[in-house]
Structures are given as C-alpha cells and as structure tokens.
Structure 1
C-alpha cells in the first residue's frame, strides 16, 4: 500500500512530496502538480540544498532561466 503524498503549495506552485523506497536507497520524489514532471532527490542532493548559500539558491528560483523557455524539454 502506497501512502498518499503530502502537498506543498502556495500561489505560485504545488508539489506532491513523498519518500520513494523503490531504488537502492530512500529518496525524495517530487512531482510538479501543474505539469506532472517528476524529480527524485537522494540524500546527497538534499544535503547539498541544505548547505547551499542563499544567493546560490536564489539563482535557481528564477523561472525565466529554465522553466518557461521554449527549448526546455
């Protein structure tokens, strides 16, 4: 039996979050509820986000960098 995901959302985005145990080790499964796009983050990737300086994270949050580009698959 699969546990339903938690949803994290605000006026800009909604993401379903759950722990996935189907791979070699647990990882976080993130699904953009608007597009259905899914990304998995392992422990090392999550730790990297925790330690990332705020200025670096701000660059990732710019939606014009990748999200709304026509050449983005």
Structure 2
C-alpha cells in the first residue's frame, strides 16, 4: 500500500509542476501589462527559470537584491533624519 501512496504523491507533484508552469506561461502577457501600467517594467533577469535548481538560485539572487535595496532605502532615510 505504501508504494501506491508514494506513486500518487510523485504524479501529483509532477502534475502540479506542469500546472504551475502552464499557468505562469499563460499569465505572463497579463503580468507584463500590469507591471508596465504600474511603471515597473520587467527586466530580462526577472523572468523566472524552469528547473527546481534554477528556481532556488533565482530566489536566492532575488532575495539578496531585495535585501540590498531595502538596506539602501534605510540608509537614505537615516541620512535624511540626521
């Protein structure tokens, strides 16, 4: 019985990955239009990769970039108040 659960989990995860990828591809034009309307056009590096390893590396780079931006904003605010 245990083998059936592991098989079911494998196929569920695989199906979910395909669903996620398909929805992301279909919604990309809408996302680009919304970002452009908000004045935040997407850069080429902002397009998310497909493999799990690439997604993890992309997430790490994006987190580091956001952290640097947040630190820069805080430094500017502190400089203004002094």
Using structure 2 for the length normalisation, give the TM-score: 0.31
Question: Where is the strand percentage greater, Structure 1 or Structure 2?
Answer: 1
Question: Where is the helix percentage greater, Structure 1 or Structure 2?
Answer: 2
**Greater Rg by CA:** 2
By relative contact order (CA 8 Å, sep 6+), the higher-ranking structure is 1
Using structure 1 for the length normalisation, give the TM-score: 0.33
